[in-house]
Each structure stands twice: as structure tokens, then as C-alpha cells.
Amino acid sequence: MALTVSLTPNGPKFSRVAFGTWRILDDPATQVPAGLLERLYTCLEEGITTIDTAEIYGGYRVEEALGSALALDPSLRRKLQIVSKCGIYVPCEFHPDRKTAFYKLTAERIVKSAEKSLRFLGTDHLDVLLMHRPDWLAPIDETAEGLNRLLKEGKIRCAGVSNYSVSQFEALNSRMAQPLVTNQVEFSLLHMAPIYDGVFDHAQQHRYRPMAWSPLSRALLLDATHEPSRRVHEVCAALSAKYGGATVDQLAYAWILNHPAGALAVIGTHKLERIRLAAQAAKIQLEWEDWYALWTAAQGCSVP
């Protein structure tokens, strides 16, 4: 299984496993630029070149922290693909005037948020900008206008969405000057919605690769006291030797990566050894029956 792939046919290359930055400020080791830089170096050593972040992460502080780490080694930027997201606005110390969390994907807001991300990250472009959640108030023409402007100005190389339904994806895509390249959705052994709600079928039909966030279900999959997770652990223990001593998290990542939609797995760990293990999961080619054995364990029943 290739470690790098194109999100769309003939499109730019991304790594099958992406380094997620949602919780980097929760870990003392990655709260400082040098510690975060060490993780980025480890990612590169292991073939993880795609970095996933978002405007809202860390109370709107993660992008700036990531930019500080990248500033320690300016040569690093050209070796990475940066994926960011915008559109979620919540009460915070920077905006005490906000009383309610809300989504906003007007053209003006998208451009302003993207330009702030570029400034914080210390880069002149984002490889992909995702609309973090659908904004039910923003007309799709408004959202497309902002994205098309950023594409035209070269501030983003590609545009995509996150947590969109098939119809929401199609509606926005119909107004885009350049087709959307991905839909980042929650997907794991404990959250299989994309294989039932049409999202992954749509990705295959239109030949774009989705991205899977929370591939370990916010670490719940690692909790053997949780009944569905316990069943998965039992199957993983039986399969481990067959796949070179693969761990539970490696087999969980491989289960995602082996689905024909070709999703990228956005990992949340910041532990060096677990980053290395996650990268190796991209090389695991599960046998057909073993993929279904993991499905069966997670679901607690046989296929219909």
C-alpha cells in the first residue's frame, strides 16, 4: 500500500496518514515549538508529510503554535502539505463579545479566516482549506465565492469540506471553479457512518479521497473495558502475529486505509513511538476476511 497518494486523479500528493494537531497544546511536550518540531521531523522520517490543523483548534491557538515550530526550520514547509479548516466561531478570550457558538461561511469570513491562518502559520499558501462544518445560513454561492477568490489568488491550492453530507458536498461543488478535493468525516471501527450514508460511495464515484478524523474514536477504541472495543481487541490479538505483530491501533488504522474509498487517516497522537506505529499501518494490507472480522467485532454481530 502506497504511503503517498493523490487526493484526486493527477492531483497533488498527500500522505495516507496525516498528523493531526487538534490537541497539541494539551501535551507539555508539544506546547513548545522545539517539541512540536521534533514531532514534525519524526513524521517526515516515517513518510507522514500531511499536517492537519484548523482555525479553532486549541482555542484558536494551534495554528500559531504550529507556525512557531515551522519558523525554527523554514526549509520544512516545502516538504509538508498543510490542511486547515475554517468556519466555527465560539466564545473565547479573543472574542468575549460572542455569546453563542456558531458557523459562518460567508465569502468575507472565509477569506479573513484563511488570511489569518496564513499569517499564523507563516506561509503564503494552504495546500487544502476545508469548510469545517456546513453553515446552514450561508448561501452556497457565498461560500463558493470566498473559496474561488482564495484559489484565484493562490492563497489556497485546493478546497474541500469537512462533515458534509453528499447533498451538501454536491451543492457547493456545483458552484466551484475548481472541484472540491475531499470531505473529512469521522470514521473508525466504532463510527462507520460514511460507509452507510453514501459519503464513501460518493467519494469513489467522483474519484476523490476522503479524510477520516478520530480514527480511534477519541481513544475509546484503546479502552478494553468498553465492550465493542474489547471485542475488537480480541480479534486484533488473534490477527497480530499474522500482520507482523501489529498493535490494536495499527490494525484499526489499517481497517480504515483498506476501505476502497482510500481515506487518509488523521491521527491524534503526539507520542513519538505511536506516530511511528501509525505510519507503519499504511503498509498493512488486510485480507478480505480479516477486514470483515474487525467489522463483526465492532458491530457485535455477523454481516446481514
- pLDDT the model gives residue 279: 97
Q: Is residue 32 part of a domain?
A: yes
Which range marks the domain in which residue 119 is found?
12-181
The one-letter amino acid code at 109 reads R
Give the whole-angstrom CA distance, residue 125 versus residue 119.
Answer: 10
Q: pLDDT tens-digit profile of 55-114?
A: 999 999 999 999 999 999 999 999 999 999 999 999 988 888 999 999 999 999 999 999
Q: Is residue 219 part of a domain?
A: no
Q: Which of 30, 28, 11 is nearest to 20 (CA)?
A: 30
Q: If DSSP codes are grouped into helix, strand and coil, which group holds residue 50?
A: strand
Q: Is residue 280 part of a domain?
A: no
Q: Is residue 143 part of a domain?
A: yes
Q: Is residue 56 part of a domain?
A: yes
Please identify every residue annotated as catalytic: 57
> What is the residue whose three cell numbers read 479524510?
211
Residues 6+ apart with CB under 8 A from 180: 159, 160, 161, 169, 172, 173, 208
* Number of folded domains that form the chain: 1
Half-sphere exposure of 105 (CA within 13 A, CB side): 28
Q: Is residue 30 part of a domain?
A: yes
User: Following DSSP, what letter does each residue of 52-110 receive, concatenated?
Assistant: E--TTHHHHTHHHHHHHHHHT-GGGGGG-EEEEEE-EE--BTTBTT--S-EE---HHHH
- pLDDT the model gives residue 95: 85
Q: Is residue 21 part of a domain?
A: yes
Q: pLDDT tens-digit profile of 217-267?
A: 999 999 999 999 999 999 999 999 999 999 999 999 999 999 999 999 999
Q: pLDDT tens-digit profile of 1-51?
A: 668 999 999 888 999 999 999 999 999 999 999 999 999 999 999 999 999
**CATH code, domain with 123:** 3.20.20.100
Q: Is residue 272 part of a domain?
A: no
Asked if 163 and 134 count as a contact pair (C-beta separation under 8 A), the reply is: yes
Asked if 265 and 189 count as a contact pair (C-beta separation under 8 A), the reply is: no
Please count the other Cβ atoms lying within 10 Å of the Cβ belonging to residue 91. Answer: 13
Q: Which of 99, 90, 40, 101 is nearest to 60 (CA)?
A: 90
pTM of the model: 0.97
- pLDDT the model gives residue 1: 64
Give the whole-angstrom CA distance, residue 204 versus residue 198.
Answer: 10
